[in-house]
C-alpha cells in the first residue's frame, strides 16, 4: 500500500486561520453581547467602533450587529497574525498569553487613546474582569485551535483501530 495515500492532506494555513477567526468572532462576539445584556460589562458590543459611530447608535440592534461584525473582523485578523507568529506553538499557554496581549493592547493602549473606551481606571471592575476573561478564552480558542492543527498534538491523542480492518502489508 502506498504510504503517501495514508497521510492526511496538508491544511492550507491561511484558509484555516480565516475559518478559525470567523468562528472565534462569531462565538465570542455573541458572548460579548450576552455579557452586555446581563450588565456584566458596561461596554457596548460595538465598542471597537466607538470612534466611528455614536454610542446611541451602537446600542441599537443594528449597532449590535455591526459591533458583532467588527469583532468577527478583529478575530480574523488576530487569527491570521497568530498563524503567522505562533502556528507551531505547543499547548494552550500561547493562546492564553495571546488573548491577554490583545486585551492589554486594546484596553491599555489603543482603546483609551482612540476613544473606544475610558481609561481602565475609570471602568468598573466587572467590566475589566469580564472583558479580560472574554479575551483570555477568545485567545485560547484561536491559539489552541490553530496550534492543534499545525503541530503533532493530534498524534498524541489516543488512536483506536478497528479489528475488522486488515492490517496493511
What tens digit of pLDDT does each residue of 111-165 get?
Answer: 999 989 999 999 999 999 999 999 999 999 999 999 888 776 555 556 555 555 5
Phi, psi of 40 (to 5 degrees): -75, -25
CA distance linking residue 9 with residue 79, whole number of Å: 21
- C-alpha dihedral, 134 to 66 to 70 to 114, nearest 10°: -90
CA distance linking residue 86 with residue 22, whole number of Å: 18
Q: pLDDT at position 160, please?
A: 52
Q: pLDDT at position 154, please?
A: 55
Model confidence at 62: pLDDT above 80: yes
Q: pLDDT at position 157, please?
A: 56
CB atoms near residue 128 (< 10 Å): 16
pLDDT confidence bin for 90, thresholds 50/70/90:
confident
Residue position matching grid coordinates 459591533? 67
DSSP three-state, residue 28? helix
Angle between helices 13-37 and 125-150 (to 10 degrees): 160
- CB-side exposure of 169: number of CA atoms within 13 Å? 1
DSSP three-state, residue 44? coil
What's the whole-model pTM score?
Answer: 0.81
What's the mean per-residue pLDDT of the chain? 87
Angle between helices 93-104 and 125-150 (to 10 degrees): 140
CA distance linking residue 123 with residue 68, whole number of Å: 21
Amino acid at each position: 500500500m502506498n504510504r503517501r495515500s495514508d497521510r492526511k492532506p496538508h491544511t492550507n494555513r491561511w484558509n484555516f486561520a480565516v475559518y478559525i477567526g470567523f468562528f472565534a468572532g462569531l462565538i465570542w462576539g455573541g458572548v460579548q453581547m450576552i455579557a452586555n445584556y446581563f450588565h456584566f460589562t458596561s461596554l457596548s458590543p460595538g465598542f471597537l467602533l466607538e470612534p466611528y459611530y455614536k454610542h446611541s447608535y451602537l446600542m441599537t440592534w443594528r449597532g449590535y450587529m455591526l459591533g458583532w461584525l467588527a469583532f468577527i473582523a478583529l478575530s480574523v485578523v488576530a487569527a491570521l497574525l497568530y498563524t503567522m507568529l505562533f502556528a507551531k506553538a505547543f499547548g494552550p499557554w500561547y493562546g492564553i498569553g495571546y488573548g491577554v496581549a490583545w486585551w492589554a493592547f486594546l484596553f491599555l493602549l489603543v482603546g483609551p487613546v482612540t476613544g473606544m473606551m475610558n481609561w481602565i481606571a475609570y471602568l468598573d471592575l466587572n467590566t475589566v474582569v469580564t472583558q479580560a476573561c472574554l479575551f483570555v478564552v477568545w485567545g485560547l480558542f484561536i491559539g489552541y485551535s490553530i496550534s492543534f492543527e499545525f503541530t503533532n498534538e493530534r498524534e498524541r491523542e489516543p488512536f483506536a483501530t478497528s479489528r475488522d480492518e486488515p492490517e496493511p502489508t
